[in-house]
C-alpha cells in the first residue's frame, strides 16, 4: 500500500511538473507569435524537418535584424513549432491549439496535401492567415476552390507533369510509360494529368498501378509494369514506398531507362536509404545548382553541408525560408497582425524571394516552376532539365542503381 | 503461368509472414498474452542489427542479426518478468494495455535515436536476388525466410516437446497455478518464453528490412499481419503459424491478381474476420479451448 | 441517503452542469470552447467504449469504425442531401448504431483476446475499404460544407449536449436490469447463464448504444475538424485512446472515463511542445498505472477515501 502511494505521488508530481512547465507557452509581451504544426516524425518527417529548419532560419534572421518593422516599432517573432507526427488529425488539432492557446497570429504550413489541407481548413474556420508550401497547387485548390485565409506557394501540377516527358525526350526510349500512383490528392491529381499530357507529348501510358498509401508489397504491380515493357516509370509515392518499389524492381530485374519518383524521391539521403538502388532516380525539383536563382550559391554554401547535399531537402528548406519571409513582409505591409488585412497583404505579394518570384493567382496559390533532377552518388540531385525545359547535365541512363 | 507465378510468390512471402508471426504465436500459446508490442519488437530487431553493423564496422545483416536477437532477448526478459507478468493476474485487458504502452515507448525511442526516416537499406546481394526456374520467379529472400521459419518452428517444437524447459512451459500454459504448486517458477518461465519470442522477432525484423523497408512506425502494419497469420493458423499453434503464413500470402496474391492490389488489406482482414467467425479458434486447432 | 435522492442527484447534477455550460457557452472565449469540445468528445468516446469494454468486458478495438461512420455520414449527408445539421447528426448516429449491431452480432461469438483481434480485423478492413472508396473521395480530404459557418462556441454546445446524452443514457443503462445482467455476464458467464441471462440479448443493445454514442461523437468531431480524411477518422488510435483513458481512469466505472479523459487530454495538450517526449510520457504513465494501480485512478481514490474515512478494516476483497 505504501509503495503504491509513493508511486502515485511520483506520477502526480511528474504530471504536475509537466503541466506547470509548459503552461507558460502562451504569447508573451510584444512579440508576434507565429505557429507551425509540421511533421517532424512519421512517414513525412523527412520533409517536415527541413521545412521547419527553413522557418527557423528566416525567423532567426529577421529577429537578428531587430524584428518586423510596423507601427513605428520593431517586433520580434516568436516561432512555435509543434510536431504532428504526420497525423492529419493531430495537425488539425495542433493548428487550432497554436492559434487559440499559443495565440499565434498566423500559421506556417506543414508539407503535402494530406496535412496542409486540414490545417488550411482550420485557418479558414478560425480566420487566421495560413501560408504553406510543398503542397502542389491544384491539389490545394481542388480541396477548396474558395480559400479565404489559406495561401499556398508551390508548383503547378500541370507544368510539373510535363517535365517527366520533356526529360524523357532527352534520351532514347520506346516512349511507353507505366504510372505508379497512390490514392491521395497528389496521386489522383498528378495521375490524371500524366494520362492527359502523355499523348500530347508523344508518349503512351501502357499501365497505371494504383495503391493505397502505406502499402508495403509491390510485387504484383512491378510484375505488371515489367510485363508492359515500358522504358519509363513515373511514380508518385512516399519515401517508404519508393524503397519497396525499387527493391521489387531490382528483384524482378526490371531496369527501365528512366525512373521518376515524385515526392518519394524528394528525400535527402535517398541514395543511402535505398541502399544505392535510388542512384539515377529522377524527381522534379524547385532548387538545384545552376538553376539560376539569385541566392542559390548563398544557400548551398550555408546549408548544403548541414543537410547533407544539394537536394530537395535543401529545396524544402529554401521554400520554408521563403514563405516565412513572405509572411513577415506581409505583416509589415499590413501594418500589423489584423487577420483580414494580413491575409489580404499576403495575397498582394509580388516579389523575388530565395525560391524565386512569388505572386498569388486567383486560387490563393503562387506557382513555382520546376526542373528535373537526377540523384548522383554524392547525395546531390543534379539538374538534367532546366527552367526552360531544355537539357542541362546529361541524363545517366539506364537508372544506375538497379544494374 | 502468371497464376503459378503469383501463387509461388504468395506462398514464399507467406514464409516471411510466418517468421514474423511466430513470436506472437509462441507468447499467446503459452501465456494467453496478446502482445501488442510484437510489431515493434520486429522493427527493433532490425534497428539493433543496424546499430551493431555500425558498431562492428560491417557484417552480414543476418549474421549480425543473431547477435541483435540475443540482445533483444536479454532486454525483454525483465520487461516480462517485472512489468507484464505481474499485470497478467488482473485479466486479459491490462496486459494488453501494458504491451501497447511498451510498443509506444519503443517507437518513440526509435524516433528519438534514429529519426523517423526509413532505415537505410542494406546493400546485400541476396536481398534483391530473384531466380527464374522454368519461368517461375523465386525471390531468394522469401525463400530464405521460409527456410528460417521452418527451422525455427522445428526447433521450438523440439524445445517444447523434448526438453525439461519445454515441459515447464507446457505445464505453465495448461495450468499456471498447478505448475507453481509443483515447483515450477512460472514467472521465470514466462520471461524466458518472451525472450525466445523476441529472439525470433528480431531475426524476422532483419528479414523484413531486407525484403521491404523499415521505419520506426512500420511496426503496427506488421503486427496486424502477424495477428492475421496467428489467428488463421490457430492462436498458439506453431505449425499452424506456418500454414497461416502461407494462406495469408496466397490470399494476398490472389486478391491482388483478381480484385486489385489496392484492396489487399480489405481482403486479408476480411478473410481474417470471416475465419474468426466460422472457426473462432482458428483453422488449425482441433479442440476448442474456451 | 435514500436511493431515490441518490438517483435524482446522479441525473440532476449532470443536467444542471450541462445546462450551465450550454447557457454560458457563447460568452466563453474560443480557446476554452475548443478545449472543452475536444475534452467532451474524448469523454463521450471513452464512456461509450467503457460500456462495451469496461462494463461488458469486451475489449473492442473496432470503435474507430463508429467514429468513421459517424463523421463520414455527416459529411456525405450534408454535401449530397443538404439536410439541416441536427437531423444529419441524428441520422449519422443511427447509422453508426446499425453498424454497431451488424458488427456485434458476429463478434459476440468471440471472447477475450479473440474478440479484440476480430474487432481489430474489422477496423483495419474498413480502413482498407474506405481508403479506396471513391464515393467518399478515397484517401483525399472530404470537406464539411457548413463547418465555416459554425462558431467554435456552437460546436462546444453540441459537444455539451452530446456528453449529457451520453452520461444520462449510460447511467440509466448501467443502473437498469440490463446493466446488472451485463456485469453479471462479464464477471461470471456460466453463473449468469444459469440464472437465465442471455448473452446475445444482453450484449446487442449495449453495442448498439455504444455505437450510437460513438457515431454521434464522430459527427460532432466532423464539425470540429472541418474536413475529414480516412486517416483521421477510421484510425484505430480512437479505439486505443478510449481504452487508455478507461484503463487509466478505471475500467468499468462511471467516473473512470471522465477522470481518465481529463488526465490524458491535458497531458497531451501541455506536452505537445515536447514533441516525441509527449508520447513517451503518456506511454510510461499508462504502463505505471496499469502495473501499480490495477483499478485505475478511481480505484485508487476510492481506496484512499475508504482508508481515511472508515475505521473498521475493509473486509471486502482479498
Per-residue confidence of chain B (290 residues) as pLDDT tens digits?
Answer: 677 878 888 898 899 999 999 999 999 888 888 899 999 999 999 999 999 999 998 889 999 999 999 999 999 999 999 999 999 888 777 888 899 999 999 998 998 888 777 888 888 888 888 888 877 888 899 999 999 999 999 999 999 989 999 999 888 888 888 888 888 889 999 999 999 999 999 999 999 999 888 888 888 889 988 988 988 887 778 889 999 999 999 988 888 778 877 787 888 888 888 888 887 766 665 443 33
Q: How far apart are CA A346 and CA A149, in angstroms?
A: 9
Q: How far apart are CA A230 and CA A248, in angstroms?
A: 16
Residue matched to cell numbers 517458477: B185
pLDDT tens column, C288-304? 988 888 788 888 888 87
Residue matched to cell numbers 478510449: C242
Among the listed ranges A73-82, A112-121, C79-88, C187-196, which one has the minimum average pLDDT value? Answer: C187-196
Neighbours of chain A (3+ CB pairs under 8 A): B, C
Q: Which of C113, C118, C294 sits opposite B92 (nearest CB)?
A: C113
Q: C-alpha grid cell for residue B222?
A: 506488421
Q: What is the mean pLDDT of residues A380-390?
A: 93
Q: C-alpha grid cell for residue A46?
A: 523527412
Is residue B126 situated within a structural domain?
Answer: yes
Secondary structure class of C154 (helix, strand, coil) = helix
Is residue B245 situated within a structural domain?
Answer: no
Q: What is the DSSP letter of B119?
A: P
pLDDT at A13 over 60: no
Residue matched to cell numbers 554524392: A378
More confident position, C1 or B73 = B73
Q: How many angstroms separate the CA of residue C131 from the nearest CA in chain A?
A: 7
The radius of gyration computed from the CA coordinates of chain B, to the nearest angstrom, equals 19
Is residue B113 situated within a structural domain?
Answer: yes
Cβ contacts from B onto C, under 8 A: 123
Q: Which residues contact B47 (CB under 8 A, 6 or more apart)?
A: B110, B114, B119, B205, B214, B216
Q: How far apart are CA C170 and CA C50, in angstroms?
A: 10
Q: C-alpha grid cell for residue C105?
A: 452480432
Looking at residue C166, its pLDDT comes to 96
Q: How far apart are CA A353 and CA A323, in angstroms?
A: 8
More confident position, C131 or A39 = A39
Give the pLDDT band of residue A214 (cuts 50, 70, 90).
low
Looking at residue C238, its pLDDT comes to 92
Q: How far apart are CA B268 and CA A131, in angstroms?
A: 41
Going by C-alpha positions, the residue among A140, A137, A111 that lies closest to residue A124 is A140
Give the pLDDT band of residue A220 (cuts 50, 70, 90).
confident
Q: How far apart are CA B29 and CA B240, in angstroms?
A: 11
CA–CA distances in Å: residue C137 to residues A86, A137, B248, C75, C234: 20, 18, 29, 11, 14
pLDDT at A401 over 60: yes
Q: What is the mean pLDDT of residues A312-333?
A: 95
pLDDT at C140 over 70: yes
Closest-CA residue in chain A for B108? A41
Going by C-alpha positions, the residue among A150, A94, A95, A211 that lies closest to residue A343 is A150
Looking at residue A22, its pLDDT comes to 40
Helix (H) or strand (E) holding C57: none
Going by C-alpha positions, the residue among A147, B97, A16, B162 that lies closest to residue C116 is B97
> Which residues on adjacent β-strands are paired with residue A383?
A373
CA–CA distances in Å: residue C183 to residues A94, A160, C11, C51, C188: 39, 61, 21, 10, 8
Q: How many angstroms separate the CA of residue C147 from the nearest CA in chain B?
A: 31
CA–CA distances in Å: residue B255 to residues A217, B269, B279, C42: 13, 11, 22, 37
Q: Are C120 and B109 an interchain contact pair (Cβ–Cβ within 8 Å)?
A: no
pLDDT tens column, C201-242? 999 999 999 999 999 999 999 999 888 888 889 988 899 999
Instruction: Confirm if A54 and A319 have CB atoms less than 8 A apart.
Output: yes
Looking at residue A212, its pLDDT comes to 66
Q: How far apart are CA C174 and CA C105, in angstroms?
A: 21
Going by C-alpha positions, the residue among C213, C199, C271, C281 that lies closest to residue C242 is C213
Going by C-alpha positions, the residue among A218, A207, A232, A215 that lies closest to residue B128 is A218
Q: How far apart are CA A250 and CA A403, in angstroms?
A: 8
Architecture, CATH, for domain A158-285+372-402: 3-Layer(aba) Sandwich (3.40)
Give the pLDDT band of residue A297 (cuts 50, 70, 90).
very high
Closest-CA residue in chain C for B235? C114
For helices C237-249 and C63-76, give the axis angle rounded to 10 degrees.
Answer: 130
Neighbours of chain B (3+ CB pairs under 8 A): A, C
Superfamily classification of domain A31-156+295-368: Response regulator (3.40.50.2300)
Q: Which residues contact C227 (CB under 8 A, 6 or more apart)?
A: A92, A117, A118, A121, A143, C141, C142, C143, C144, C147
Looking at residue B281, its pLDDT comes to 67
Q: Are C286 and B269 an interchain contact pair (Cβ–Cβ within 8 Å)?
A: no
Give the pLDDT band of residue A275 (cuts 50, 70, 90).
confident
Question: What is the percent of chain A where pLDDT is above 90?
Answer: 61
pLDDT at C11 over 90: no
Give A-chain residues touching C28 at CB under 8 angstroms: none
Instruction: Confirm if C149 and C34 have CB atoms less than 8 A apart.
Output: no
Q: How far apart are CA B284 and CA B243, in angstroms?
A: 8
Looking at residue B122, its pLDDT comes to 87
Q: How many angstroms separate the CA of residue B263 from the nearest CA in chain C?
A: 7
pLDDT tens column, A80-121? 999 888 888 889 989 999 999 889 999 999 999 889 999 999
Neighbour count for residue B52 (Cβ, 10 Å): 17
Whether A341 and chain B come into contact, CB under 8 Å, resolves to no
Residue matched to cell numbers 450510437: C212
Residue matched to cell numbers 490545394: A140
Closest-CA residue in chain C for B226? C117
SS in 3 state form for B136-154? EEEEHHHHHHHHHHHHHHH
Going by C-alpha positions, the residue among A228, A225, A222 that lies closest to residue A245 is A222
Whether A88 and chain B come into contact, CB under 8 Å, resolves to no
CA–CA distances in Å: residue B239 to residues B15, B23, B26, C2: 12, 13, 11, 61
Is residue B243 situated within a structural domain?
Answer: no
Looking at residue A23, its pLDDT comes to 40
Structural domain containing residue B209: 2-219
Residue intervals of chain A classified under CATH 3.40.50.2300 are 31-156+295-368, 158-285+372-402
C29, with CB counted inside 10 A (0-12, 13-18, 19+), is: exposed
Q: How far apart are CA A151 and CA A133, in angstroms?
A: 9
Secondary structure class of B131 (helix, strand, coil) = strand
What is the pTM for the complete model shown? 0.86
Q: How many angstroms separate the CA of residue C31 from the nearest CA in chain A?
A: 4
Closest-CA residue in chain A for C234? A89
Q: What is the mean pLDDT of residues A242-264?
A: 90
Number of domains in chain B: 1
Mean pLDDT, chain A, rounded, equals 87
pLDDT at A232 over 90: yes
Distance in angstroms between the alpha carbons of the first and the last residue of chain A = 66
Secondary structure class of B285 (helix, strand, coil) = coil
Whether B220 and chain A come into contact, CB under 8 Å, resolves to no
CA–chain centroid gap for C180, Å, is 20
Question: What is the percent of chain C where pLDDT is above 90?
Answer: 45
Q: Are A41 and C139 an interchain contact pair (Cβ–Cβ within 8 Å)?
A: no
Q: How far apart are CA A46 and CA A255, in angstroms?
A: 27
Q: Are C276 and B111 an interchain contact pair (Cβ–Cβ within 8 Å)?
A: yes
Cβ contacts from A onto C, under 8 A: 133
Instruction: Confirm if C113 and B92 have CB atoms less than 8 A apart.
Output: yes
CA–chain centroid gap for B23, Å, is 5
Q: How far apart are CA C296 and CA C300, in angstroms?
A: 6
Q: Are B92 and C291 an interchain contact pair (Cβ–Cβ within 8 Å)?
A: no
Instruction: Confirm if A100 and A77 have CB atoms less than 8 A apart.
Output: no
SS in 3 state form for chain A? CHHHHHHHHHHHHHHHHHHHHHCCCCCCCCCEEEEEEECCCCCCHHHHHHHHHHHHHHHHHHHHCCCEEECCEEECEEEEEEECCCCHHHHHHHHHHHHHCCCCCEEECCCCHHHHHHHHHHHHHHCCCEEEECCCHHHHHHHCCCCCCEEEEEECHHHHHHHHHHHHCCCCCCCEEEEEEECCHHHHHHHHHHHHHHHHCCCEEEEEEEECCCCCCCHHHHHHHHHHCCCEEEEEECHHHHHHHHHHHHHCCCCCCEEEEEECCCCCCHHHHCCCCCCCCEEEECCCCCCCCCCHHHHHHHHHHHHCCCCHHHHHHHHHHHHHHHHHHHHHHHCCCCHHHHHHHHHCCEEEECCEEEECCCCCEEEECCEEEEECCCCCEEEEECCCCCECCCCCCCCHHHC
> Which residues on adjacent β-strands are paired with residue A353?
A356
> Which residues on adjacent β-strands are paired with residue A35?
A80, A107
**B134 torsion bin: left (phi>0), alpha (psi -120 to 50), beta (else):** left
Distance in angstroms between the alpha carbons of the first and the last residue of chain B = 44
Whether B252 and chain A come into contact, CB under 8 Å, resolves to yes
Amino acid at each position: 500500500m505504501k509503495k503504491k502511494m509513493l508511486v502515485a505521488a511520483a506520477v502526480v508530481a511528474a504530471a504536475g511538473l509537466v503541466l506547470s512547465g509548459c503552461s507558460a507557452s502562451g504569447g508573451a509581451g510584444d512579440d508576434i507569435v507565429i505557429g507551425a504544426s509540421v511533421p517532424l516524425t512519421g512517414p513525412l518527417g523527412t520533409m517536415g524537418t527541413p521545412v521547419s529548419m527553413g522557418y527557423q532560419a528566416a525567423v532567426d534572421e529577421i529577429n537578428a535584424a531587430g524584428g518586423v518593422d510596423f507601427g513605428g516599432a520593431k517586433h520580434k517573432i516568436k516561432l512555435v513549432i509543434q510536431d504532428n507526427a504526420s497525423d492529419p488529425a493531430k495537425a488539425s488539432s495542433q493548428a487550432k491549439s497554436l492559434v487559440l492557446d499559443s495565440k499565434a497570429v498566423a500559421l506556417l504550413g506543414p508539407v503535402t496535401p494530406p496535412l496542409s489541407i486540414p490545417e488550411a481548413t482550420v485557418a479558414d474556420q478560425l480566420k487566421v492567415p495560413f501560408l504553406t508550401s510543398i503542397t502542389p497547387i491544384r491539389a490545394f485548390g481542388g480541396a477548396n476552390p474558395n480559400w479565404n485565409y489559406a495561401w499556398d506557394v508551390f508548383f503547378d501540377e500541370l507544368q510539373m507533369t510535363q517535365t517527366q516527358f520533356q526529360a524523357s525526350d532527352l534520351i532514347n526510349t520506346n516512349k511507353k510509360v507505366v504510372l505508379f500512383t497512390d490514392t491521395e490528392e497528389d496521386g489522383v491529381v498528378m495521375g490524371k494529368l500524366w494520362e492527359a499530357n502523355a499523348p500530347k507529348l508523344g508518349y503512351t501510358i501502357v499501365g497505371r498501378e494504383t495503391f493505397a498509401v502505406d502499402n508495403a508489397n509491390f510485387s504484383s504491380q512491378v510484375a505488371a509494369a515489367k510485363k508492359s515493357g515500358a522504358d519509363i516509370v513515373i511514380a508518385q509515392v512516399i519515401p517508404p514506398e519508393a524503397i519497396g518499389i525499387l527493391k521489387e524492381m531490382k528483384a524482378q530485374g526490371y531496369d527501365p531507362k528512366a525512373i521518376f519518383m515524385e515526392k518519394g524521391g524528394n528525400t535527402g539521403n535517398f541514395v543511402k536509404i535505398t541502399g544505392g538502388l535510388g542512384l539515377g532516380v529522377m524527381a522534379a525539383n524547385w532548387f538545384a545548382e545552376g538553376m539560376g536563382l539569385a541566392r542559390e550559391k548563398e544557400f548551398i554554401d550555408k546549408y548544403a553541408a548541414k543537410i547533407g547535399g544539394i537536394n530537395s531537402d535543401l529545396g524544402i528548406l529554401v521554400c520554408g525560408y521563403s514563405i516565412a519571409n513572405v509572411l513577415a513582409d506581409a505583416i509589415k505591409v499590413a501594418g500589423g497582425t489584423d487577420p483580414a488585412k494580413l491575409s489580404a497583404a499576403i495575397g498582394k505579394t509580388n516579389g523575388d524571394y530565395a525560391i524565386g518570384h512569388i505572386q498569388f493567382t486567383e486560387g490563393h496559390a503562387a506557382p513555382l516552376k520546376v526542373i528535373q533532377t537526377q540523384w548522383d552518388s554524392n547525395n546531390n540531385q543534379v539538374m538534367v532539365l532546366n527552367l526552360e525545359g531544355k537539357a542541362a547535365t546529361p541524363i545517366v541512363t539506364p537508372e544506375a542503381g538497379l544494374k | 503461368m502468371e497464376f503459378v507465378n503469383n501463387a509461388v510468390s504468395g506462398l514464399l512471402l507467406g514464409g516471411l509472414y510466418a517468421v514474423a508471426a511466430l513470436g506472437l504465436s509462441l507468447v499467446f500459446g503459452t501465456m494467453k498474452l496478446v502482445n501488442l508490442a510484437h510489431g515493434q519488437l520486429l522493427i527493433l530487431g532490425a534497428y539493433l542489427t543496424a546499430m551493431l553493423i555500425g558498431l562492428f564496422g560491417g557484417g552480414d545483416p543476418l549474421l549480425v542479426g543473431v547477435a541483435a536477437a540475443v540482445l533483444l532477448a536479454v532486454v525483454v526478459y525483465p520487461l516480462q518478468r517485472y512489468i507484464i507478468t505481474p499485470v497478467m493476474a488482473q485479466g486479459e485487458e491490462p496486459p494488453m494495455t501494458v504491451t501497447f504502452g511498451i510498443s509506444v515507448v519503443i517507437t518513440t525511442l526509435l524516433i528519438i535515436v534514429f529519426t523517423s526516416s526509413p532505415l537505410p537499406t542494406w546493400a546485400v546481394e541476396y536481398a534483391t536476388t530473384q531466380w527464374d526456374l522454368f519461368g517461375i520467379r523465386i525471390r531468394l529472400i522469401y525463400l530464405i525466410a521460409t527456410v528460417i521459419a521452418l527451422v525455427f518452428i522445428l526447433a521450438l517444437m523440439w524445445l517444447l516437446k523434448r526438453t525439461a524447459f519445454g515441459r515447464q512451459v507446457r505445464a505453465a500454459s495448461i495450468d499456471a497455478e498447478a505448475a507453481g504448486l509443483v515447483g515450477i517458477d512460472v514467472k521465470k518461465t514466462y520471461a524466458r518464453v518472451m525472450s525466445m519470442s523476441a529472439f525470433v522477432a528480431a531475426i524476422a525484423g532483419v528479414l523484413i528490412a531486407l525484403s521491404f523497408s523499415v521505419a520506426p512506425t512500420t511496426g503496427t502494419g506488421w503486427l496486424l499481419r502477424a495477428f492475421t497469420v496467428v489467428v488463421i493458423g490457430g492462436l498458439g499453434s506453431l505449425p499452424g503459424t506456418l500454414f497461416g503464413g502461407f494462406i495469408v500470402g496466397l490470399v494476398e496474391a490472389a486478391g491482388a491478381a483478381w480484385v486489385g492490389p489496392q484492396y489487399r488489406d480489405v481482403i486479408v482482414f476480411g478473410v481474417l474476420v470471416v475465419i474468426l467467425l466460422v472457426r473462432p479458434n482458428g483453422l488449425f486447432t482441433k479442440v476448442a479451448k474456451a | 441517503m435514500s436511493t431515490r435522492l441518490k438517483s435524482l442527484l446522479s441525473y440532476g447534477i449532470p443536467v444542471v452542469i450541462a445546462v450551465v455550460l450550454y447557457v454560458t457557452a457563447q460568452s466563453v472565449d474560443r480557446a476554452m470552447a475548443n478545449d472543452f469540445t475536444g475534452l467532451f468528445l474524448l469523454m463521450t468516446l471513452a464512456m461509450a467504449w467503457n460500456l462495451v469494454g469496461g462494463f461488458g468486458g469486451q475489449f473492442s478495438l473496432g470503435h474507430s469504425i463508429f467514429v468513421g461512420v459517424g463523421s463520414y455520414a455527416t459529411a456525405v449527408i450534408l454535401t449530397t442531401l443538404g439536410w439541416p445539421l441536427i437531423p444529419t447528426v441524428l441520422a449519422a448516429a443511427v447509422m453508426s448504431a446499425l453498424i454497431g449491431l451488424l458488427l456485434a452480432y458476429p463478434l459476440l461469438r468471440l471472447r477475450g483476446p479473440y474478440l479484440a483481434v476480430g474487432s481489430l480485423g474489422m477496423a483495419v478492413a474498413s480502413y482498407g475499404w474506405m481508403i479506396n472508396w471513391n464515393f467518399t473521395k478515397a484517401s483525399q480530404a472530404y470537406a464539411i460544407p457548413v463547418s465555416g459557418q459554425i462558431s467554435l462556441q456552437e460546436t462546444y454546445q453540441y459537444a455539451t449536449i452530446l456528453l449529457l446524452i451520453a452520461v444520462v443514457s449510460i447511467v440509466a443503462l448501467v443502473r437498469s436490469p440490463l446493466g446488472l445482467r451485463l456485469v453479471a455476464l462479464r464477471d461470471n458467464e456460466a453463473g449468469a447463464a444459469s440464472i437465465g441471462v442471455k448473452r446475445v440479448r444482453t450484449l446487442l443493445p449495449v453495442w448498439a448504444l455504444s455505437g450510437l454514442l460513438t457515431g454521434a461523437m464522430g459527427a460532432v468531431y466532423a464539425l470540429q475538424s472541418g474536413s475529414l480524411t480516412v486517416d483521421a477518422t477510421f484510425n484505430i488510435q480512437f479505439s486505443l485512446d478510449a481504452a487508455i483513458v478507461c484503463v487509466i481512469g478505471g475500467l468499468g466505472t462511471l467516473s473512470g472515463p471522465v477522470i481518465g479523459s481529463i488526465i490524458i487530454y491535458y497531458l497531451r495538450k501541455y506536452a505537445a511542445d515536447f514533441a516525441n517526449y509527449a508520447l513517451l510520457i503518456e506511454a510510461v504513465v499508462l504502463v505505471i498505472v496499469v502495473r501499480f494501480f490495477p483499478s485505475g485512478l478511481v480505484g485508487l481514490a476510492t481506496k484512499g477515501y475508504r482508508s481515511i474515512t472508515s475505521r473498521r478494516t475493509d473486509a471486502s476483497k482479498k
